[in-house]
Amino acid sequence: MRNLDEQTVTQAVLDLLAGTPDPRLKFILTSLITHLHDFARDVKLTEAELRAGISFLTQTGQKCDDKRQEFILLSDVLGLSMLTVAMNNRKPRGCTESTVFGPFHVEGAPEYANGADIANGAIGEPCLVRGTVKDLHGAPIAGAELEVWQADATGNYDVQYPNLETHQGRGVLRSQADGSFEFRTVVAVAYPIPADGPVGDLLRATARHPWRPAHLHFMIKAKNYQTLVTHVFRNGDQYLDSDAVFGVRQTLVADWVKQPEGGYTLNYDFVLNPVG
C-alpha cells in the first residue's frame, strides 16, 4: 500500500473494509467512502476547503449540548432528514403521512388527561385541538399515546428558555374508546430554526431563510401500529412552500378556525398504518 494516487487511494481504503464483521456497516461504509472520494474528485477539493469543512463540523459538534442538537438541524436543512423519513415511511394511501422529527422533542413530557391544557402557561392565543386516531378502515384506535409538542407565540419551544423549570406546550395524552382526543393549547406560529450556530451560517452563506411554517408536532404510538411522527401545519402560512427543513406535505395542512367567542379550534384526524 504505497504510492497511492488520487485514483488508487479509494480502492486501498475499501480493501481495508474486507474484515468488517457487520455486513450492513460494511455496505454503508463502502458506499460512503466511494461517494466521499468521488465528491472530493468532482469538486477538486482543496486542502483549505477540507480544513474549512472539518472546522464547520467541529463547530457543529461544539454547538451541541443536552438542549441543542446542531447535527439534527444540519441534517434537516440539507434535506437528509426528510429524505430518510420519505424512504422509511412509505404507506398505503389514506394513512397519515410522516414528517421530520426535529430537535425539540424531549423525553419525559408530562402526562395529561383528555381535554387538559398542555400550554401550562405558554404564551399565545388559546386553541382547542380535537381529532381522532383511527385505522385505515375507520375503526377507532383506543388508548393510543399521543405526544404533542409546539412552540409558543414567540416561536420558542420550552427547552429554548434557559431558566424555565417546567414543560410548556408539550404533553402526552391517550385516545378515548371512540379514538377521539382533545386538548387545549396555544396557537402555533411560524418560527425560525435556531440560526445562531454553524447551521445558521450555512443558511446565510446560501441566501436561505430559516423559517418553518406554523405547526404542531405529534408522535402517536399504538400497539400493532407503526409509530407516527408527524406535524399538522397551519393553512395559509406564508412558509408552507419554503419550509427550511422541507417537511410540508399537503395532507398535513389544516385550518386553525377563529371562534366568534375568542380563540381558535383545530380538528385533525390521524390514520395509523398497521405493523407488518
DSSP 230: E
- Minimum distance from CB of 43 to ligand BEZ (Å)? 27
The contact pattern for ligand BEZ, residues 68-87, with x = CB under 6 A and - = no contact, is -----x--x-----------
Q: Among residues 245, 252, 254, 272, which is the contact residue for ligand BEZ, using CB under 6 A?
A: 245
Residue length of the chain: 276
By CB under 6 A, is residue 158 in contact with ligand BEZ? no
Task: Give per-residue burial for 35-70: e unless 16+ CB within 10 Å, then b.
Answer: eebeebeeeeeeeeeeeeeeeeeeebeebeeeebbb
SS3 at position 46: coil
DSSP 41: H
Nearer to ligand BEZ, 157 or 225 (CB): 157
How many helices (H) and strands (E) in the chain? Answer: 6, 11
The contact pattern for ligand BEZ, residues 103-132, with x = CB under 6 A and - = no contact, is xx----------------------------
CA distance linking residue 179 with residue 165, whole number of Å: 33
By CB under 6 A, is residue 100 in contact with ligand BEZ? yes
Q: Among residues 102, 131, 169, 200, which is the contact residue for ligand BEZ, using CB under 6 A?
A: 102
Nearer to ligand BEZ, 100 or 109 (CB): 100
State the residues that interact with ligand BEZ by CB under 6 A: 73, 76, 100, 102-104, 193, 212, 245
